[in-house]
C-alpha cells in the first residue's frame, strides 16, 4: 500500500510510473533537482526544505541542477492514503508533530542530534533530557495506537535537520 525510501539520483532521466499512487519527495542532499511532469503537471525545482507531491501515474523526468542529489520519498495508493511530508530545521525552537491514532509516521534525522518525546507537561529543558535521542541516519517509526499522539522534537544541542512523513488512511 505504501513505501518510504531514500534514493540517490546521479544522472538525468525518467521516473518510474506508478499508476494509482501518489508520490511525495523532499531533497535531503545536493543543490537541486528540476522535475518535469510535462503536460500533466508542469515543472518544479526541488530543493530543501520544500516537499513536492505529484501523481505517480504522470510521465515525470528529472534533471540535476548541479551534481548528484538524495531524496526521501513516500509513495502510497492514492485511493487509500494521504501523505504529509515535512522537512524540519531545528535550532533554538522545536517542532510539534501530531499523529492521529490510525496514522503511521516516520521521523528521520539528517543532521545533528534530535530529541523527541511526548508533547507538553514539563519545561522544554526537562523534556529534552527525558526524550529519546536520535543521531543522523536514525529514524523513529510510529504505528497506529489507541489514541492520538503529539510529539515535541528539538535539536539536542546546536542545529539539526529531520524529515517527518505521516501516512493517513482514508475512511473506509
Q: What is the mean pLDDT of the chain?
A: 90
**For residues 140-153, average pLDDT:** 84
> 18 versus 123: which is more confidently predicted?
18
**Residue listed under C-alpha cell 494509482:** 20
**For residues 47-56, average pLDDT:** 95
- C-alpha cell of residue 104: 503511521
**For residues 153-164, average pLDDT:** 90
pLDDT above 60 for 97: yes
Q: What is the pLDDT of residues 73-94, one digit of tens each?
A: 999 999 999 999 999 999 767 8
CA distances, 76 to each of 18, 42, 125, 166 (Å)? 10, 21, 37, 11
Q: Is residue 150 a contact partner of residue 97, using CB atoms and an 8 Å limit?
A: yes
CA atoms of 100 and 118, how far apart (whole Å): 14
β 13-14/149-155 pair status: unpaired
For residue 37, is it left (φ>0), alpha (ψ between -120 and 50) or beta? Answer: alpha
Q: Taking the model in full, what pTM does it have?
A: 0.89
Could you tell me where the DSSP H helices lie in 88-155? Answer: 124-130
Amino acid at each position: 500500500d505504501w513505501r518510504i525510501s531514500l534514493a540517490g539520483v546521479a544522472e538525468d532521466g525518467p521516473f518510474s510510473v506508478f499508476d494509482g499512487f501518489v508520490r511525495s519527495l523532499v531533497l535531503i542532499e545536493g543543490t537541486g533537482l528540476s522535475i518535469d511532469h510535462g503536460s500533466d503537471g508542469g515543472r518544479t525545482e526541488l530543493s530543501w526544505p520544500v516537499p513536492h507531491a505529484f501523481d505517480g501515474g504522470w510521465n515525470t523526468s528529472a534533471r540535476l541542477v548541479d551534481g548528484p542529489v538524495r531524496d526521501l520519498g513516500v509513495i502510497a495508493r492514492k485511493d487509500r492514503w494521504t501523505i504529509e511530508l515535512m522537512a524540519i530545521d531545528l535550532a533554538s525552537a522545536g517542532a510539534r508533530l501530531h499523529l492521529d491514532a490510525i496514522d503511521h509516521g516516520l521521523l528521520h534525522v539528517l543532521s545533528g542530534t534530535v530529541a523527541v518525546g511526548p508533547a507538553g507537561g514539563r519545561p522544554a529543558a526537562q523534556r529534552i533530557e527525558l526524550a529519546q535521542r536520535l543521531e543522523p541516519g536514525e529514524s523513529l517509526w510510529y504505528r497506529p495506537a489507541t489514541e492520538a499522539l503529539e510529539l515535541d522534537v528539538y535539536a539536542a544541542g546546536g542545529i539539526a535537520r529531520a524529515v517527518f512523513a505521516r501516512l493517513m488512511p482514508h475512511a473506509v
